[in-house]
Amino acid sequence: MAIARNSTDLELVVLVQNAVGTDANMRSRFDFAAAQLRVGLAAARELGAPSQIGALLCGLAVPLYYLGNYAEAGAVTAEAASLYEAVGRNSTATLVRGNAAAIMLAEGNVAEAREQIAIAERMARESGDRNALSGILATRADILLADGDAAAARTAASESLELASAVGHPLNSTEALYLVATAELRDGHPERVLPLLLRLRAELVEHRLEVRVPMLVLATADWIAASGDQAAWVRARRWLAALTQLADIDATLRDKAKRLLERETKTRGSAGDAVSLTLAEIEADVGAFLDGR
């Protein structure tokens, strides 16, 4: 026999599962995060609270996106956007639209992502929501990189970084640092990258955002590739090869590691043997490299 739960019980479930799931996302425990957030979402639906349903939908979209389940991530994000728009929470709906654009980009729908992010950026600027605008500009920078417009991507990512730093949002600031570094490399300015890598590493250490560690690995490996240092590339190649085998990292970053490895293999020859390293081991070696060891 099912046990009836009162609203207080349901609210507690929603709060606890949301907090546990969010923390798990930051620690790259995506399967666990998704499971916890599904429990919270079910409780929010039973409670009938639109704002809490929307929050859990957005929360669930995160591990689904990181796991590469873009279809379901897109579906729950679309539901969240519709819900927030229906209850008049336009600022939140704007942020969700930006998330939808990131999912579209991951799916390879660059044109649709470009249209969606333009709408989200306009709405965020009109509302003056700096937090939402920071995340939206990061996605716009990623889209511009996909379009091959490195200069415009650097401008968008730099503004994202400025806003994220102003509002104190380390998730957005670390992503923006990665995107600025990538844009500088694509625009032919590797000499500008090291300070960005060191700043990104410092923020990751301070806030322990494991979910962003692959960004530091990718940007550092890309910087090494641009330097032409073959000995250093052998080391970077090991990081990338190991990243491609890790299931518990952002699927979009794993794909970028594969593409970078494939690009450099065409230029330099054999990719070498497969390497098995944990993310912590990769991060430690990247840190040692940046320290000059």
Confidence of residue 7 (pLDDT cuts 50, 70, 90): confident
CA atoms of 11 and 236, how far apart (whole Å): 47
State residue 31 phi and psi, 5-degree precision: -60, -45
Q: Round the average pLDDT of the chain to a whole number and report it.
A: 91
**Residues near 210 by beta carbon (within 8 Å), at least 6 away in sequence:** 26, 27, 28, 279
pLDDT of 161 > 50? The answer is yes
pLDDT in tens, 254-284: 999 999 999 988 776 665 666 789 999 999 9
CA atoms of 113 and 99, how far apart (whole Å): 10
pLDDT in tens, 13-27: 888 888 898 899 888
Do the beta carbons of residue 179 and residue 141 sit within 8 Å?
Answer: yes
Confidence of residue 1 (pLDDT cuts 50, 70, 90): very low
pLDDT in tens, 87-133: 888 888 888 999 999 999 999 999 999 999 999 999 999 989 999 99
pLDDT of 4 > 60? The answer is no
- Token duo for residue 261: 């490895």
CA atoms of 154 and 152, how far apart (whole Å): 5
- Token duo for residue 90: 């336009």
**Residues near 289 by beta carbon (within 8 Å), at least 6 away in sequence:** 220, 232, 235
Amino acid letter for position 219: A
DSSP 8-state assignment for residue 194: H
Average pLDDT of the segment spanning 173-190? 97
CA atoms of 175 and 183, how far apart (whole Å): 12
- pTM greater than 0.85: yes
Average pLDDT of the segment spanning 127-152? 95
